[in-house]
C-alpha cells in the first residue's frame, strides 16, 4: 500500500486516473526562496503532451497546470506545492468494451486481480496519463538543480525499433517530434511510424538520459545508491523493461583494463561508469539508457480472457501511441531530476555540511 510517494527529503505524492476529474501531485521539500510560476512547469508538460504530432495519440488535453499552494509572491515558501491538472478530453466510450476483458501486455489483468476493482476507462491509474504529474514535479526539480548547482537533465531517442539513431547534437532534439538528436534520420523515422500506424501494430524503443554538472558525492550507499535510485525511477515509468548505467550491458564483455575509467589530474579519461562509482556520483556526466516495450493497445486482434475466465478476442480502437517511447523523454528527464534533487538534499558531509568534494577534477 501507499506506493504513490517518491523520494525521501524531496518527495512527490501523485494522484489521478486517466478519466478521472484530475491528475496532479504534491511536491514536498522544495527549499524556500526559489522563484516559481506556472511558466516554469508548463513547457515540459507541453513537450510531453498528447496530440502534438500525428505520431502520437490523438487525445487532446491542454495539460494546463495550476499551482495551488507553496508559492507566495512568486517564490517557494518551503511548504508543500500542490499541482493540479484537470482532465478535459476523456472519451470513455472508446474504452467501454474493455470493461470486461483484459488487454494482453497491459495492467488490466493485474490491477483487477490485486484490487478486485478497476477503473478501466483509459487504463485508469495504470495509464501513462498519470506521468504528466511526474513531469510537472520534475520541472521544479530541474529548475532548482540548475539554479543551485548548474545541473541539466536531458533525454533523447537512441533507437526506434530496428532503426539506430546515432547521436549528432543536442540542438536537434527539440526540433522533431521524436526527441531525436539527429535531424538527418528523422524522415526515416517518420516513414517507419506511418507504416506502423497503418499496420495497427506497435514497436519498442531505446532512449537515453544524461545529467550534466552533477557534483561529486551524491548518493547514499549501500541501498540508496544513486544508480539504484535512478534504476528504480526509470523502471517505474510505464512500459520500461530495462535500465542501464554507463556502459550498461556492454560491460558483460569488457575487460577491467578496458572498463575502469582512468583518472588524471585533468579528469577522467573515459566514462564507462556513466558518472557513478560505488553508488556515488563522480562529477562526470550521468548517463543512463532504458528500453521501452511496444504499446499493448493495438488494433490487431489478440487472444485474451474476460472476468469470467472465458476466452475472448481483444483489439483496441481509439487513440493510442504506436510507440510509447516517443513521449518518454520528458518523463525520464523528470524522474532523473527528482532523484537528483532528493540526493542533493540528502547529501551531508563533514560536520553535517553539504559536501562538494575537495578535489576538482572532471
Query: Which among 294, 191, 279 has a CA at the least distance from the CA of 238?
Result: 294
Q: What does DSSP assign to residue 220? A: B
Binding mask 30-69 for its own copies (x = CB under 8 A): -xxx--------------------------------xxxx
Minimum gap (Å) between residue 171 Cβ and its own copies = 25
Q: Which 205-224 residues touch its own copies, going by CB under 8 A?
A: 205-206, 216-224
Query: Closest CB to its own copies among 155 and 294?
Result: 294
Residue at grid coordinates 525499433: 161
SS (H, E, C) 40-75: HHHHHHHHHCCCCCCCCCCCCCCCCEEECCCEECCE
Query: Closest CB to its own copies among 113 and 175?
Result: 113
Cβ(282)–Cβ(299) under 8 Å?
no
CA end-to-end distance (rounded Å), the chain = 42
Query: Does 296 participate in binding its own copies (rule CB under 8 A)?
Result: yes
Query: Closest CB to its own copies among 175 and 357?
Result: 357
Piece of the chain touching its own copies by CB under 8 A; list 45-53, 169-177, 181-189, 294-302? 294-302
The SS3 assignment for 176 reads coil
Q: Which 314-353 residues touch its own copies, going by CB under 8 A?
A: 344-353
238 is in an annotated binding site: yes
Among positions 52, 62, 146, 159, the unique one binding its own copies when judged by CB under 8 A:
159
Query: Does 189 participate in binding its own copies (rule CB under 8 A)?
Result: no
Among positions 190, 302, 318, 319, the unique one binding its own copies when judged by CB under 8 A:
302
CA distance 349 to 339: 19
Query: Does 197 participate in binding its own copies (rule CB under 8 A)?
Result: no
Cβ(156)–Cβ(179) under 8 Å?
yes
Query: Does 171 participate in binding its own copies (rule CB under 8 A)?
Result: no
Give me the residues paired with residue 72 across strands: 75
Residue at grid coordinates 523528470: 334
The SS3 assignment for 286 reads strand
- Main-chain dihedrals φ then ψ at residue 176, nearest 5 degrees: -145, 165
Q: Residue 354: how many CB atoms within 10 A of its CB?
A: 12
Among positions 251, 285, 318, 319, the unique one binding its own copies when judged by CB under 8 A:
251
Q: Which 117-136 residues touch its own copies, going by CB under 8 A?
A: 117-119, 124-126, 130
Q: Is 39 exposed, middle or buried (0-12, 13-18, 19+ CB in 10 A)?
A: exposed
Residues 6+ apart with CB under 8 A from 50: 56, 57, 58, 59, 60, 61, 319, 321, 327
296 is in an annotated binding site: yes
Minimum gap (Å) between residue 105 Cβ and its own copies = 3
Cβ(288)–Cβ(274) under 8 Å?
yes
126 is in an annotated binding site: yes
Q: Which 262-291 residues touch its own copies, going by CB under 8 A?
A: 262-265, 269, 272-274, 276-283, 291
Query: Does 26 participate in binding its own copies (rule CB under 8 A)?
Result: yes
43 is in an annotated binding site: no
Among positions 148, 166, 191, 362, the unique one binding its own copies when judged by CB under 8 A:
148
Q: Using alpha carbons, list the distances in angstroms from residue 312 to 106, 158, 176.
A: 15, 37, 40
293 is in an annotated binding site: yes
Piece of the chain touching its own copies by CB under 8 A; list 40-48, 56-64, 178-186, 231-239? 231-239
Query: Does 245 participate in binding its own copies (rule CB under 8 A)?
Result: yes
Query: Does 1 participate in binding its own copies (rule CB under 8 A)?
Result: yes
Minimum gap (Å) between residue 198 Cβ and its own copies = 13
**Residues in the annotated binding site for NADP(+):** 48, 54
**Residues in the annotated binding site for FMN:** 125-127, 238-239, 278, 293-297, 319
Amino acid at each position: 500500500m501507499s506506493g504513490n510517494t517518491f523520494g525521501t527529503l524531496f518527495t512527490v505524492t501523485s494522484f489521478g486516473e486517466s478519466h478521472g476529474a484530475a491528475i496532479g501531485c504534491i511536491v514536498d521539500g522544495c527549499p524556500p526562496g526559489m522563484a516559481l510560476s506556472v511558466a516554469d512547469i508548463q513547457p515540459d508538460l507541453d513537450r510531453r503532451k498528447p496530440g502534438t504530432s500525428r505520431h502520437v495519440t490523438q487525445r487532446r488535453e491542454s495539460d494546463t497546470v495550476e499551482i495551488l499552494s507553496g508559492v507566495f509572491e512568486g517564490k517557494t515558501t518551503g511548504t508543500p506545492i500542490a499541482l493540479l491538472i484537470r482532465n478535459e478530453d476523456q472519451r470513455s466510450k472508446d474504452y467501454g468494451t474493455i470493461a470486461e476483458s483484459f488487454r494482453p501486455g497491459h495492467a488490466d489483468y493485474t490491477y483487477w486481480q490485486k484490487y478486485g476493482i478497476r477503473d478501466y476507462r483509459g487504463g485508469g491509474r495504470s495509464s501513462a496519463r498519470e506521468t504528466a504529474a511526474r513531469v510537472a514535479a520534475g520541472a521544479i526539480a530541474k529548475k532548482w538543480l540548475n539554479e543551485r548547482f548548474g545541473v541539466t537533465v536531458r533525454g533523447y531517442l537512441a533507437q526506434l525499433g530496428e532503426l539506430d539513431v546515432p547521436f549528432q547534437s543536442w540542438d536537434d532534439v527539440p526540433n522533431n517530434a521524436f526527441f531525436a538528436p539527429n535531424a538527418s534520420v528523422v524522415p526515416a523515422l517518420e516513414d517507419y511510424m506511418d507504416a506502423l500506424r497503418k499496420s495497427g501494430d506497435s514497436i519498442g524503443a531505446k532512449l537515453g538520459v544524461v545529467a550534466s554538472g552533477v557534483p561529486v558525492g551524491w548518493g547514499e550507499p549501500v541501498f540508496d545508491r544513486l544508480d539504484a535510485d535512478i534504476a528504480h525511477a526509470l523502471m517505474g515509468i510505464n512500459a520500461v523493461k530495462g535500465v542501464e548505467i554507463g556502459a550498461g550491458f556492454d560491460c558483460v564483455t569488457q575487460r577491467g583494463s578496458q572498463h575502469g575509467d582512468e583518472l588524471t589530474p585533468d579528469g577522467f579519461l573515459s566514462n564507462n561508469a556513466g558518472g557513478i562509482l560505488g553508488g556515488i556520483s563522480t562529477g562526470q556526466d550521468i548517463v543512463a539508457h532504458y528500453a521501452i516495450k511496444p504499446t499493448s493497445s493495438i488494433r490487431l486482434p489478440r487472444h485474451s480472457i474476460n472476468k469470467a475466465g472465458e476466452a475472448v478476442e481483444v483489439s483496441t480502437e481509439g487513440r493510442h501511441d504506436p510507440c510509447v517511447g516517443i513521449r518518454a523523454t520528458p518523463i525520464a528527464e523528470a524522474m532523473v531530476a527528482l532523484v537528483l534533487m532528493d540526493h542533493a538534499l540528502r547529501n551531508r558531509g563533514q560536520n553535517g555540511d553539504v559536501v562538494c568534494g575537495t578535489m576538482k577534477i572532471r
